[in-house]
Structure 1
Amino acid sequence: MLFIATASFAQKSITIDDFTARPTFGARSVGGINWMKDGKFYSSLQNNKVVKFNVTTGEAVETLVDGSALSPTININDYTFSADEKQLLISTGFEQIYRWSFRADYFIYDLTTKTIKKLSANGKQSYASFSPDGSKVAFVRGNNLFYVSLSDMKETQVTTDGKFNEIINGSTDWVYEEEFGFTTAFFWSPDNNKLAYYRFDESRVKEYNMQKWNQGATYPQDYKFKYPKAGEANSVIEIYVYDLGTQQKMKADLGSNTDIYIPRVKWTQDANTLSIRRMNRLQNQLEIMHLNTLSGAISTVLTEKNNAYVDINDDLTYLNDKKHFIHVSEMSGYNHIYLYTVDGKLVRQITNGNWEVTSFIGLDEKTKTVYYQSTEVSPLERHLYSVSLDGKKKVKLTTEAGMHTANMSNDFQFYIKYFNSASQPNTVSLYATKGNKLIKVLEKNETLQKTVAEYGIVAKEFFTFNTVDGQALNGLFMKPKDFDSNKKYPVLIYQYSGPGSQNVSNSWGGGHFYFHQMLVQKGYIVAIVDTRGTGFRGEAFKKMTYKQLGKYELEDHVTAAKYLSTLSYVDGGRIGIWGWSYGGYMSSLAMTNGGGVFKMGIAVAPVTNWRYYDTVYTERYLQTPQENASGYDDNSPSTHAAKLKGNFLLIHGTGDDNVHFQNSVVLQEALVNAGIQFDSFYYVDKHHGIQGSKTRQHLYTQMLNYVLENL
């Protein structure tokens, strides 16, 4: 449990430097885990070394490679093993492009000969991946797909038409990366003989022009990239299969309608069958399709339709028997696990109940045991379970109240459990699956526990309140350590509020946790609220905001503020609200269309009209502007700018490739035209996260001062 500060020492005051420039509250973990094939060892990247650990003892047994001892030395960003574990693919010189995309230099390290060689001398690569037998490595460079045969290091170019802002092969465009969450868009067949890959034709997609000021340069630089805003043209997607032997390409027949999405592609256990998931533009129909890569025949084996939208996940698993697959879906109203025959016939629903499967961890086919994480105990917690493939013999593997996640070994003999709660920072433990036996605690974060005690970090207090239609919503308080119920306190509400999100949970920390704890030290109550439309409470609760984002969320924040005002210790005239991204959208809407309930608001990187945001995200929840104009405009902060009441601070990075600076410019112009005074600040060339220790110091200082002066 969390150590509580006592009178034996003075409580330390949190400074902004403590959570920006210094790792005062740094939490330790065990990351970069690669389970090794014999089930007796795992490896981890530590201090620029790939270290091998004994599973049963948790002790390091061998340093597989030390980047600092190589010639020349290499700063290891990441690594992967070949299937036979005789080679390591090491990346270094990491260059971020957007949120997930990057370039790097890759090296092949031979664990037997202790020799290293560069994968390619022709420029940095992206997403390099071993073939299943470890004989080749495929990668993307300059929007084209390549592979290298490691026996002679011969480099073969699979595609030649790649061109920036026009054609992308083997990687994704901006909107797929951001909203479908992947960048590697090529896939080795199980028999090593074929590469399936995406081809994006983004020539019709309109460009967004973002100026980079490059401080010190005489002229700013224009950076133009393809960004499809709601209702505009998307990339045309094609799926190809390249045969390494014949060097022939097969194009999958995805139908005559090109205004579609292909959110996932993966090989089945059959080396001649490629699984393709196709969605319509409105994302309310998902089809699982199987492509025969010998004949070109394609068939739809499963179709899922929804009155709102179908969520995409990675939980499609093809069994080794080549006769079945597991599909995770919320078709019952809650997210659950289903077993199908390979031709799409439902065998059974494996999990069932008014709770959500939040992660499909895996299937041990030897014991026919499914492992998963769920909200069965509470939407505020995550617990680990096992259940037999026939839906019987369910076992709860975790006991402590809080959040449990697992990284399970490939043979399902062991797992590493990560646990935290509102009173407990991250702990990492190694378990044997058989008997669910604890082998060793790998990390306790005892130093952090001592630190948070010294700084008087206060515990979260959970509460519920009812919406205007009687639904109970979850919230939490953080109150000053010397809290006196006879005093009146100002309250700052923090929220995100986006579809399927969650801020209120029995977990350690959370977004801007130590900034909030600093405000608590200065005499504020910080409250966090999850509105209708947030996640992990079933499909109906999440999707009720469909076609009218902002409407119910605003109602709920106003209701939350009014509820807080009824508490004897809350000063109802001093309630503020702030948020980032979707949370910035909501704080902007609360200040403009919230009826003057909030005295102060801060919006960081907000969407101010969904017409300015991307197709995939926005149309999933609102349809297109052409189909649902009122859904876009009725709950836009820009529409209600003239109603702004209270003190309002608007913050944005000019280099935000995600929620464009345009959003804040448009809202500012609407406020100016309405004769409304407000405060604003922009961060030059900073992206959506407004990163950098100096930048974050400035940002938090600015927000702190604004709260102190206006709340």
Structure 2
Amino acid sequence: MKQILSFIAILCMTVTLSAQEKKAFTLNDVIPGGSNYFNLTPKTMPGLQWWEDVCVRADVEAIKRINNRTGEESVVVTLKEVNEALQNGEKPYKLLAPIKPLHTLQGASLPWGNRNLLMFSGYVGDEEKSESYVFFYDFVQKKLTNMFRIQEANAANFDFCKENGYLAYTAGDHLYIANHGDFSTAVSPHLTGGKEIDNDIVYGQAVHRNEFGIMKGTFWSPKGTYLAFYRMDQSMVTDYPQVNTTTRIATLVPDKYPMAGMTSHKVTVGIYHVKTGKTIYLQAGDPTDRYFTNISWSPDEKDIYVIELNRDQNHAQLVQYNAETGEKKGVLYEEKHARYVEPQHPLAFLPWDETKFIYWSQRDGYHHLYLMDTQKPQAGEWKTGKDADDTYCEYLQTTPLTQGDWLVQEILGFNKKMKTVIIGSTEISPLQTNVFSLDVKTGKRTLIGKRDGMHRAQLSENGTFLIDNFTSNDVPREISILPTDGKKGVTLLTATDPMKEQYNLPEISIGTIKAADGKTDLYYRLIKPVGFDLNKKYPAIIYVYGGPHAQMIHNTRFYDARGWDLYMAQQGYVMLTVDNRGSDNRGIQFENCTFRQLGAEEAKDQVEGVKFLQSLPYVDAGKIGVHGWSFGGYMTTNLMLTYPDLFKVGVAGGPVIDWKYYEVMYGERYMDTPQTNPEGYKSRDLKAKAGNLKGRLEIIIGGMDPTCVPQHTITFLRACIDAGTHPDLFIYPEDGHNMMGRDRVHLHEHITRYFLDYLK
């Protein structure tokens, strides 16, 4: 008995010592760009991808095949043999300089499931002068089968088409394609003498400032016959005078920046025929004050579809065009909303029935999927959605595929054999993304993977398997190969969390409070100080974003708390974040209740967060601060000026101050124009509240911010001088809207010092 008690005592001492051995962390440990940051993130498996239905891992030294059922690995090709072919093997044509050896295979891909070809990029030449090439290596014959040079400097926006083997890319304002040899083909016309168009006309890049789900500017047709692309004419857009201060005399570096209510750019959609080299443009009429979004192709390449949106962003039309002539064939669907319509996804045709496609809409209050039949046209009849502010008109027979008070977030692809579509959705919780197999015929949904947490998935080409990268607050990371029929798969990696293993971490919890409307539940995340003592009184900081298309709380590692939030808890602060009304993933009415008055309802909900903090016995009610960036910077400044007696200290990063200075697409969607909503713009202009400042407010900006241009902050400072108030200012010269690398660590050191100095 004494031996047992002695063993228990030793065990308890060991556990106590183990806890005491855990150490404090630094900003270099928890901020991206910090010297130790990546050493403390849960282990992952970079380079996982699909080779048709075979999972492969592109690692540093080799590409390995992974058995979908067992997880066993086998080598497909090694870095050594690829470099041997590059250095000593037969070349498709003669090069004037040697090829530089590769240092890793992690960027390589296997585009064709039925061909043993590896595609990767590399360089030819020496350190002083090198040229970029794309290589294709046959790892069975062990030789290079094709190679072509990217001859233009600063090439970007690469878009490879495996159906024809061409690579589309941009350089400067121009669009090119390459397939073999030393020379690419210019899709966009050059001016006489090959001069650049000086940012007035841009080809092949994302347009409309990346709104409406637009992330790219080129769109290959399904068989590779055509390349559709955006052409953006910015010649009529006002230049914003950004300044580069690194030159001997500061240099003007203007941005094309259309502010709310001002003239915007004009966009047209071109179609380039790869074999003939001819380009036609869609005959969409005058492109003035219209948005051309979500380009998609019919499977037979005969038609191209564009969701067109008016300048007011309250009337969307799905328009069909003839891909050969550019002629408009008709409108297939229309939708109007009293506030705004926001198309964000292209059509998705069923691979087993190319006469039907899936369309996304929020007409019933949440993003859901609707199946439209191109073979069953019908007379349009305007109807009202479940969201009473939404009306729609269907010119094709339409069937809802998903319904409910949750939303579809993504279509991953299709399982052709089972005739299912694989989706990510918030059906289980708005704090999560779970993956489901959706039976198109019955609407039945089958969960793939665990119910817990956030799931990022890659679907195999035939849709029979997916790679599931799963994380939650309890699971640092788990990577699996899962069959899409919902059955059990194989786990490739279960990671631990180095932060939890090595450091003393704060207690993090989530819950709900009521919004200012008294009925809507809002999610919050609360972080208690490290070494929490219930008998102490702690200062508190609210970290806020609060704007559309952002959600700060998910069921992920630390419930999405950022490294700085954890660090401030280590410094003795209670940290709170509330996802107010107006934020993402709760349905259209939850988001658009802020329409024409951005910051009003959101601020009221953040005040409910303050009340929650003040109800906690361990929070010092007189020491509450706030910090946020971008829209969060606007919210921080707004809260400091609207509720000056509640907030003692604020740090506003890259803030909007006056919505008249913000860009057309985002600003007018949520605020309308200054001409049509003068009262809204006036009431939300924070310069008018400059005299309300009581506490300590610091504004931090990038010196060349192209998103929230410096004019916001400069004019606010002038207003504060006129009003006799004293905010502080810190600028990161030549940085943009966000600080990266070492600047990001410095930024959080600076923010921390401000709160330590003024919110003790």
How high is the TM-score relative to the length of structure 2? Answer: 0.85
Contact 2:470 2:479 (8 Å CA) reproduced: yes
Contact 1:213 1:219 (8 Å CA) reproduced: yes
In 2, Cα distance between equivalents of 1:421 and 1:628: 43
Query: Partner letter of residue 147 of structure 1?
Result: I
Residue 588 (1) aligns with residue 599 (2):
no
Alignment of 1:517-556 (within 5 A): 517-556=566-605
Residue 258 (structure 1) shift: 2.2
Contact 2:365 2:589 (8 Å CA) reproduced: yes
Residue 262 (structure 1) shift: 0.7
Change beyond 3 A, Cα 1:245–1:701:
closer
Structure number with bigger Rg: 2
Aligned pair partner of 1:469 in 480, 492, 517: 517
Structure 2's unaligned 5+ residue stretches are 1-13, 87-98, 124-130, 191-195, 378-394
In 2, Cα distance between equivalents of 1:472 and 1:692: 37
In 2, Cα distance between equivalents of 1:358 and 1:634: 34
- Give the corresponding residue for 2:718: 669
Residue aligned with 1:436, SS = coil
Aligned pair partner of 2:454 in 400, 403, 416: 403
Contact 2:149 2:183 (8 Å CA) reproduced: no
Residue 479 (structure 1) shift: 0.6
Change beyond 3 A, Cα 1:266–1:604:
same
In 2, Cα distance between equivalents of 1:435 and 1:257: 46
- Give the corresponding residue for 2:44: 29
Residue aligned with 2:255, SS = strand
Per-residue Cα deviation, 1:312-361 (whole angstroms, up to 9, x for no partner): 32352012322100112211111111111125524321111111122222
Aligned pair partner of 1:252 in 261, 279, 282: 282
Residue 75 (structure 1) shift: 6.1
Residue 485 (structure 1) shift: 2.8
- Give the corresponding residue for 1:422: 473
Contact 1:492 1:527 (8 Å CA) reproduced: yes
Change beyond 3 A, Cα 1:182–1:315:
closer
Contact 1:25 1:452 (8 Å CA) reproduced: no
Residue aligned with 1:322, SS = strand
Residue 274 (structure 1) shift: 1.1
Alignment of 1:555-704 (within 5 A): 555-693=604-742, 695-704=743-752
Stretch deviating more after TM superposition (83-92 or 662-671)? 83-92
In 1, Cα distance between equivalents of 2:656 and 2:450: 40
- Give the corresponding residue for 1:336: 368
- Give the corresponding residue for 1:137: 167
Aligned pair partner of 2:307 in 246, 264, 277: 277
Query: Partner letter of residue 276 of structure 1?
Result: V
- Give the corresponding residue for 2:3: none
In 1, Cα distance between equivalents of 2:342 and 2:78: 40
Aligned pair partner of 1:158 in 174, 187, 192: 187
Query: Partner letter of residue 561 of structure 1?
Result: V
Residue 302 (1) aligns with residue 342 (2):
no
Query: Partner letter of residue 653 of structure 1?
Result: G
Per-residue Cα deviation, 1:238-267 (whole angstroms, up to 9, x for no partner): 112222344332221113352101122121
Query: Partner letter of residue 463 of structure 2?
Result: F
In 2, Cα distance between equivalents of 1:494 and 1:365: 45
Residue 445 (structure 1) shift: 2.5
Stretch deviating more after TM superposition (628-637 or 324-333)? 628-637
In 1, Cα distance between equivalents of 2:548 and 2:486: 38
Change beyond 3 A, Cα 1:246–1:402:
closer
- Give the corresponding residue for 2:529: 480
In 1, Cα distance between equivalents of 2:370 and 2:613: 42
Aligned pair partner of 1:110 in 123, 137, 141: 137
- Give the corresponding residue for 2:101: 73
- Give the corresponding residue for 1:319: 350
Contact 1:354 1:538 (8 Å CA) reproduced: yes
Contact 1:318 1:326 (8 Å CA) reproduced: yes
Change beyond 3 A, Cα 1:369–1:649:
same
- Give the corresponding residue for 2:127: none
Contact 1:213 1:684 (8 Å CA) reproduced: yes
Query: Partner letter of residue 564 of structure 2?
Result: F
Contact 1:140 1:170 (8 Å CA) reproduced: yes
In 2, Cα distance between equivalents of 1:367 and 1:412: 9
Stretch deviating more after TM superposition (617-626 or 128-137)? 128-137
How high is the TM-score relative to the length of structure 1? Answer: 0.91
Contact 1:74 1:92 (8 Å CA) reproduced: yes
Per-residue Cα deviation, 1:9-43 (whole angstroms, up to 9, x for no partner): 42311112213222242233234443112x12334
Residue aligned with 1:639, SS = helix
Residue aligned with 1:441, SS = strand
In 1, Cα distance between equivalents of 2:652 and 2:744: 15
Aligned pair partner of 2:404 in 330, 343, 353: 353
In 2, Cα distance between equivalents of 1:345 and 1:503: 39
Per-residue Cα deviation, 1:195-230 (whole angstroms, up to 9, x for no partner): 22221111001111211122xx42222211211111
Residue aligned with 2:636, SS = helix
Aligned pair partner of 1:445 in 481, 495, 502: 495
Change beyond 3 A, Cα 1:600–1:426:
same
* RMSD of aligned residue pairs (Cα, Å): 2.6
In 2, Cα distance between equivalents of 1:195 and 1:626: 39
- Give the corresponding residue for 2:434: 383
Contact 2:119 2:134 (8 Å CA) reproduced: yes
Query: Partner letter of residue 339 of structure 2?
Result: A
Contact 2:48 2:55 (8 Å CA) reproduced: no
In 1, Cα distance between equivalents of 2:466 and 2:641: 49
Residue aligned with 2:272, SS = strand
Query: Partner letter of residue 72 of structure 1?
Result: K
Change beyond 3 A, Cα 1:8–1:133:
closer
In 2, Cα distance between equivalents of 1:89 and 1:450: 35
Residue aligned with 1:452, SS = helix
- Give the corresponding residue for 1:368: 419
In 1, Cα distance between equivalents of 2:16 and 2:582: 41
Per-residue Cα deviation, 1:98-156 (whole angstroms, up to 9, x for no partner): xxxxxx94412233553373423343422333334334333223322222343x55533
Residue 548 (structure 1) shift: 0.8
In 1, Cα distance between equivalents of 2:303 and 2:109: 26
Residue aligned with 1:176, SS = helix
Per-residue Cα deviation, 1:163-200 (whole angstroms, up to 9, x for no partner): 12211122235x433x3454542222233332222211
Contact 2:119 2:136 (8 Å CA) reproduced: yes
- Give the corresponding residue for 1:55: 68
Residue 706 (1) aligns with residue 754 (2):
yes
Change beyond 3 A, Cα 1:5–1:379:
farther
In 2, Cα distance between equivalents of 1:226 and 1:85: 45
Change beyond 3 A, Cα 1:398–1:68:
same
In 2, Cα distance between equivalents of 1:48 and 1:634: 60
Residue 232 (1) aligns with residue 259 (2):
no
Residue 211 (1) aligns with residue 239 (2):
no
Residue 640 (structure 1) shift: 0.8
Change beyond 3 A, Cα 1:267–1:113:
farther
In 2, Cα distance between equivalents of 1:462 and 1:245: 58
Contact 2:41 2:498 (8 Å CA) reproduced: no
In 2, Cα distance between equivalents of 1:114 and 1:596: 72
Change beyond 3 A, Cα 1:549–1:566:
same
Residue 85 (structure 1) shift: 4.5
Contact 2:432 2:454 (8 Å CA) reproduced: yes
Per-residue Cα deviation, 1:640-679 (whole angstroms, up to 9, x for no partner): 1110121111111102222212222121221122111222
Residue 400 (structure 1) shift: 4.2
- Give the corresponding residue for 1:100: none
Contact 1:373 1:385 (8 Å CA) reproduced: yes
In 2, Cα distance between equivalents of 1:520 and 1:650: 22
